[in-house]
Structure 1
Amino acid sequence: MVMRRLLFTLGLLAAGLALFIPAGHGQDFGSEVRRQLKDRIGRAATPPKIAVDGEVLCTCDTLARFYRSRGYLPAWSDANGPSPLADGLVAELRQADTHGLKPENYHLERIEAMLAEARTGGPRPEELAELDLLLTDAWLLYASHLLAGQVNPVTLGAEWHIKRSEADLEKLLRNTLEAGDISAGLNALLPDGPGYGVLRDALGQYRKLTAQGGWPAIPDGPTLKAGDSDPRVTTLRARLIVTGELDPALAEGEEFDDKVAQAVIRFQQRHGLAPDGALGPKTLAALNVTAQERVKQIVVNLERMRWLPAELGSRHIVVNVANFTLDVVEDGQPLLTMRAIVGRTYRQTPSFSAKLDRIIFSPYWHIPHSIAVKDLLPKIQKDRRFLARQKIRVFRGSTQIDPKTVNWRSLSEANFPYRLRQDPGPLNSLGRVKFMLPNRFNVYIHDTPSRELFDRAVRDFSSGCIRIDMPVELAGYLLADDPSWTSEKILAAIEQPQETLVRLRRPIPVYFLYATAWVDAEGTLQFRDDLYGRDGPVAAALEAPPPRAVLQPSRRRGGEEGAGGQAGRSGHAVW
C-alpha cells in the first residue's frame, strides 16, 4: 500500500511539473520549428521575399536554398531553444565595426532581443523560426561583406575592374555549423596576408584617438622651417606628439629646432609629401585633416582590400596609383620597388588586373587617336615642323603619307582620318622599353624620356599608362628565367633603331590598385591624398544600409589571377 501511494504521489508530481514546462520544449518542439520554417519559406514568392516583422531579409534566395538543402531543419536552435552557435554569431556581429562595417546592418539589436526573450519567457516555435531566419540572414550577409566587400564597386562607378573573391556561402555556412566554430568560419573569409589585420588594428587606434578628442588644429600662417621661432610651433609639437612623430618630452617650446624638423619629415614621409622638413601649405593641410576623417579613410581602404581576389599570385606586380609606385612581389616579399607616373585627374588610371606577357625594346609609339587629336593636333597646326622634330610619321590606313600634303588646319577632333606613329629613339614618349599587358583600357607600363618628373612627390602626368623609373631592372627581372637575355643583350636591345618583341616564358599578373591608407611592412600607417576623389563615394556607400531582398549568388572562392602570397614594403601597401 505504501509503495502504491508513493507511486501515485510521484505521478501527480510529474504531471504537475509538466504544467510548468514551456510548451515549445516538448518532444515535437523541433519538428514544429521545422514546420514553421518550411511554411514561411514555402509561402515566399519567386524569387523569394521572406520577411520578419514586415522587414524583407537581404539574402532571401540563398537563405531559401540553404533551408531546402537541409530539409528545413533549424540551424541555430535545438529542442532546448537557441544553441551556443547563436551566441557565437552575436559575438562576431558585435565586432563588425572593427572591420569598418555596421553591426546594425545585420539585425544585431533584434537578434539580441529575441534571444533574451527566448531564454527567459519560453519561446514559441514560430518565434524560434523567425530568430533562425534572422540569424541565417545575418550570417550570409556578414559573410558576403567580409569576403568581397559591402559595396559593389562596379555599380558604384569606382573605376574598379578587378574580379572579387568568390565562395559558395551555403556550403561555407553548413561547414561552419558542423564545425561549431562561428569565429573561425568567418575569419577564413578575410583577405589573406597581414595587411588587412594591421590596418584593422590601426582603425581601432584612430577611433581611440578620435574619442580622446583627436589632435589640435594648427593655425594658418607663413611657412615655418628649422631655425624659425613662432607660437604656432607649440601647437605643431602637440600635433606631432599625438600621432607619434615627436617625443612627448619635447612638447614645450616655440623654436622650430632640428628635432621638430625631423618629426615633420617623418610625418611627410608617411603622407606622401616632399620630405623637406618645413611646415608649408601642403604639410599644414595634411596635419589638419581630423582624426575622424582619417578613420573614414581607413574604413574605405579596408573595404577596398575586401574587393581584392583571395590570391594575387606567388609572383605579381602591384601598382598603387595613389602612391605613385610599382612593386614586384615574389613569395610574399618585395623584390623591386620603383617610382611611377600615373594618369592625370582627367585621364585617370583605372583599377584592374591583367597578365603582363610581352616586352618591347625600342618600341614604336602608336599614338592613340584621342591623344593625337586632343594633344598633338593643336601643336601640329601651330608648328609645321613639329612632326619631323618629334620623329612622328603619318599614316592613312596602312599607307604612310607625306605630312606636307595634309591640310592640317582643316582637321579637327571630329575630322581626323590619320594615324600617327613615333619612331624608336630618345624622343619616343614610351622611352626605351614597353611592357605589354592586354586589357580593354589600353593601359600599359613603359619607360619615359621625361626623367625629371620622377623627382616630384605627386606624379600624375600621364594619359592613363604607367611610366616607371626602373624599366631596365624590371625587364631584367621578367627575363631572368631566359638565359639568352643577358643584361648586356637587354642594354643593346634598347639602343637599337627598330623595335624588338620578346614574349615572356612566364607571364605575370599585374594589379593596378588605389590605396590611400595602409600599414607598411615596417608597421607604419601610411596615408595618401585621394588623387582621383574616389574615397568619398565609397565612404558614402558604406554609410548606407544594405538593400533588402538582394539575391546573393553562389560564390566560388578564388581570384582572377594566379595563386600565392601578398606583401609590400615601407611606403607600400602590404596586400
Structure 2
Amino acid sequence: MRKKYRARLVLLGVSLAALLMLMPDERSCAGIISEMPMRIRTRIEGKTQIVCAGRQIENVSWIQRIYEARQYRPAWTTDMGLSESGQAAAALLAGCIQEGFDPETYHLSLIRSLDAGIRNGIVSPDRIVDLDLLLTHGVALYYVHLSRGRVNPEVIDAFWASSARPDQDVASMIGEAIERDSLSDLLASASPAHPGFRRLRDALGMYRNIQEKGGWGQIASGEKIQSGENDPRIPAIRKRLAVTDGPVTNPKSATHMLDAGLIGAVKRFQKRHGLHPDGVIGPQTIQNMNVSVEDRIRQIELNLERWRWLNREWGKRYLIVNIADYSLEAVDEGKVTLDMRVIVGQTYRRTPVFSERLRYITLNPFWNVPKKIAVEDKLPIIKKDPGYLLKNHIHVYSAREDNGPEINPYTIDWSRLHADYFPYRLKQDPGARNALGRIKFLLPNKYAIYLHDSPQRELFRRTTRGYSSGCIRLEKPVELAVEVLKNTPGWNQAKIVSTIQSGVTTVIPVKEEIMVYLLYWTAWVDETGTINFREDIYDRDRPLWIAIQDVDKAYERMKEVSLGNLVIKPDAS
C-alpha cells in the first residue's frame, strides 16, 4: 500500500515538474517586458531598414519616430502576445480588403502567426519585438495608402499631375492614435469623404458579392440581335443582365426573343458602359457583357486609388471633366448644376490629368497656334495650299520677334520648312472659323491646356470623342460661361451673347474660386447609384495595376490578372 502511494507521489511530482516547465515563468515574463524598450531601440535606432521575422522592412523613419516618442515602449504587445489594442489594430488591417487593398501588404498573416505562436508558449523577446514592429509598420503604411494612395501617379504617367493632400506627420498622428486608443477614428478619417468615393467603395463590396456567387457566364459571339428577333443566346443574355442590370422580364411566350423588357435592360447596360444605347445587341455590347467580374473589380480598385490622389478639399464650386467619359459637370455646393459632352485629346495627344483654378474667360479669342500643331497639322496643308491661311484668317509672323510685322505667306517657300526648321508663328483671328470657337476658359498650367468652344459641332454627336490636341472642347460653352459668371454682376446670358456677337475680344476675370479638375475615371458610381464603366482610352489602367502589383510584391505576393482588352469603336452597339 505504501509502495503504491509513494509511486503515485513520484508520478504526480514528475507531472507537476513537466507542467511547470511548460508554463511561462512570471519572473522571466516580467524580465522580457522590462527589457523590451532596450531591445526595440537596439533594433531600429540609426537603421534605414530592419528585418522582422525574416521580412525586410525599408524606410523605417516612421517607426523610429513613433517609438522614440514613446521611449521605445511596446505599442501593441504584452508577454502573452497582442494586447487588446493590438488585436483591434490587426482587425482593422484585415478590413483593408474593403478598401481594395491586400492585407498581406500590411503583414497581416505574419502578425497573426507570431501572435498565435506566442500565445501557444513560443515566447522570446525577439518574437515580441518582431510582432510589435510589424504591426506598427503595417498600421502606418495602411494609413499612408488610405490617405495618399499606394502609387505616385507622376512616376508612371508624365501627363498626370498629382493633387494629393500635403505631406503629413504620419509618425505623430499614429503615435497620438496609439496613446489615445483612437486608431479606428484616424484610419476612418484618412479616406476621401467625397460621396463619389464612398459610392464606388460600396460598389466594390457589391461586385465582390457577385464574385462570391460565381459571377456571370459568357455570351457566345454571333450576329447582332435587333428588336423582335429570336436568338438562342437570349436566355443567357437575360441571365447575364439580371445579375447587374435587372429586372429582366422573361415571358414564357418569348424566351428567345429580344422583347421590350429585355431591350430596356440592354439600354441600361449600354448607357452605363459608354455605348450607344439603342437596345441592339451587337459585338461591342457582347464584348462588354463578357468582361469578367474579376476584371470589373480590378477596375473599381484602380479608380479608388485615383480618388486617393486627389486633394480632400474640392471647394464650394468646381468643374469636373472626366476624360474617359468625354463629359463635364459643373458642381455648386455638392449639386450638379450643368453637364455636357466634351471632346478630349487624341490617343497620341493625350489630355493630361491635373487640377487648377479657373482664372479668365475670353470671348472672341485669338488663337496662337502651338508650334507642334503648326508643324505637324498645319504645315502639310499649307504646303498643298498656301491660300489655306488667308481663307482661315491665319496670320504669319516671325518667331524671332514678339511684335514683328506680319509676313505675306506667299513670300515664304513653304516647301523648305519642316519640324526642325519653322521660324514662324501662326495666329488666327476671332470669328466663326477660329479653332477655339467664340469662348475660351483659361486655367494657367504647365501643359497649356484650356477649355474652349469649337466650330466642329457635329463631333459632339459621336459616342467616342477623342479628337482634340489635348484641350477640352465644350458642347455648351455659352451655358458654361453663364454658370461660371452667375454671381458676377453685369455678366448675365444676354450680356455674354451680345458681347460675342460684337466680335470684340473681351477678357473677363473669374473672381470666385472655381477649381477645374481634369480627371480620368474608368469606373465610377453616379448620384443615382448606377455603377459606370468606360474604355481605358489612353491605356492608363494597365500601368497603374502593374505599379500596384509591385507594391504588393514587395510584401510576398505577385498577382496575375487580365484587365480585359476592350476596344470600343465610335457609335458601336
- Residue 235 of structure 1 aligns to which amino acid in structure 2? A
Change in Cα spacing, 1:59 to 1:137, as seen in structure 2 (3 Å) is farther
2:284 is the counterpart of 1:267: no
Structure 1 stretch 267-276 or stretch 122-131: which is displaced more?
A: 122-131
SS at match of 1:419: strand
Q: Which residue of 2 aligns with 1:386?
A: 388
CA–CA separation in structure 2 for the residues paired with 1:158 and 1:123: 50
What corresponds to 1:565 in structure 2?
Answer: none
1:428-455 deviation line (CA, Å, top 9, x unaligned):
1101100000001011000111111111
Pair 374,24 (structure 1): closer, same or farther in 2 beyond 3 Å: farther
Partner of 1:322: 324
Is residue 402 from structure 1 mapped to residue 408 from structure 2 by the alignment? yes
Give the AA of the match of 1:75: A
The alpha-carbon deviation at position 235 of structure 1 amounts to 2.1
- Deviations 1:233-253 (Å, cap 9, x if unpaired)? 222222211213342655861
Corresponding residue for residue 305 of structure 2: 303
Could you tell me whether the CA contact under 8 Å between 1:24 and 1:123 is conserved in 2?
no
Flag the 1:81–1:539 CA change in 2: closer, same or farther, 3 A: closer
Partner of 1:567: none
1:465 and 2:471 are equivalent in the alignment: yes
Question: Is the contact made by 1:58 and 1:137 (CA closer than 8 Å) also made in structure 2?
Answer: no
Q: 30, 33, 46: which one pairs with 2:33? A: 30
For 1:142-291, list aligned pairs within 5 A.
142-157=142-157, 159-165=159-165, 166-247=167-248, 249=250, 253-291=255-293
Aligned residues: 532
How far, CA to CA, are the matches of 1:498 and 1:31 in structure 2? 81
Quote how far apart the aligned CAs of 1:100 are.
Answer: 1.5
Trace 1:25-64 onto structure 2 (pairs within 5 A).
27-42=30-45, 44-45=46-47, 48-64=48-64
Q: Secondary structure at the match of 2:502?
A: coil
Q: Following TM superposition, by how much is the alpha carbon of 1:456 offset from its aligned partner in structure 2, in angstroms?
A: 0.9
Cα deviation for residue 190 of structure 1 reads 0.7
Deviates more, 1:256-265 or 1:71-80: 71-80
Answering whether residue 95 of structure 2 is matched by residue 95 of structure 1, we say: yes
Q: Which moved more, 1:516-525 or 1:311-320?
A: 311-320
Task: Name the structure 1 match of 2:571.
Answer: none
Whole-Å separation in 2 of the counterparts to 1:408 and 1:164: 47
Alignment of 1:330-409 (within 5 A): 330-396=332-398, 397=401, 398-399=403-404, 400-409=406-415
User: Alignment identity in percent?
Assistant: 40
**1:466-481 alignment runs, 5 A limit:** 466-481=472-487
Contact 1:24 1:124 in 2 (8 A): no
Query: Which of 494, 506, 511 lines up with 1:505 in the alignment?
Result: 511
Gaps of 5+ in 2: 1-15, 556-573
CA–CA distance in structure 1, aligned partners of residues 549 and 129 of structure 2: 30
Distance in 2, matches of 1:81 and 1:280, equals 60
Alpha-carbon distance, 1:23 to partner:
4.4
Could you tell me how far apart the structure 2 residues matched to 1:386 and 1:196 are?
Answer: 49
Q: Secondary structure at the match of 1:161?
A: coil
Deviations 1:359-414 (A, max 9, x none): 10000011100001101111111112211111111111332111111111221111
In the aligned structure 1, how far is the partner of 2:150 from the partner of 2:28?
Answer: 38
**Which shifted more, 526-535 or 246-255?**
246-255
8 Å Cα contact 1:353-1:511 kept in structure 2: yes
TM-score (norm 2): 0.88
Report the residue type matching 1:403 in the other structure.
Answer: P
Which one of 392, 409, 419 corresponds to residue 413 of structure 1?
419
Q: Counterpart in 1 of 2:120?
A: 120
State the 1:80 CA deviation: 6.3
TM-score normalized by the length of structure 1: 0.88
Q: Give a deviation string over 1:185-223, Cα, whole Å, max 9, x none.
A: 211101112222222222222223233332222222222
Paired residues of 2:234 and 2:255 also in contact (CA < 8 A): yes
Runs of 4+ with >6 A deviation = 16-19
SS in 2 for 1:393: strand
Q: Which amino acid aligns with 2:414?
A: W
Alpha-carbon distance between aligned partners in 2 of 1:96 and 1:425, rounded to the nearest angstrom = 55
Question: How far apart, in 2, do the equivalents of 1:351 and 1:509 lie?
Answer: 13
Distance apart, 1:97 and its partner CA? 1.8
Root-mean-square deviation (CA, aligned residues, Å) is: 2.2
Structure 1 runs not aligned, ≥5 long: 1-12, 550-575
Q: Is the 8 A contact 1:96 1:102 kept in 2?
A: yes
Whole-angstrom distance in 1 between the partners of 2:552 and 2:81: 29
Q: Report the Cα offset of residue 31 of structure 1.
A: 2.7
Alpha carbons 2:79, 2:123 under 8 Å: kept: no
Alignment match of 1:527 (pick from 519, 526, 533): 533
Deviation at 1:492, TM superposition (A): 1.4
Q: Give the AA of the match of 2:125.
A: P
Q: Which amino acid aligns with 2:280?
A: A
**SS of the residue 1:461 aligns to:** strand
Partner of 1:553: none
Find the counterpart in structure 1 of residue 3 from structure 2.
none
* TM-fit CA distance, 1:418: 0.7
CA distance in structure 2 between the partners assigned to 1:24 and 1:95 by the alignment: 37
Note closer, same or farther for the CA distance 1:458–1:245 as it changes in structure 2 (3 Å cut): farther
Moved more, 268-277 or 166-175: 166-175
- CA deviations on 1:88-116 (whole Å, 9 max, x unpaired) are 11111212222111111111111001112
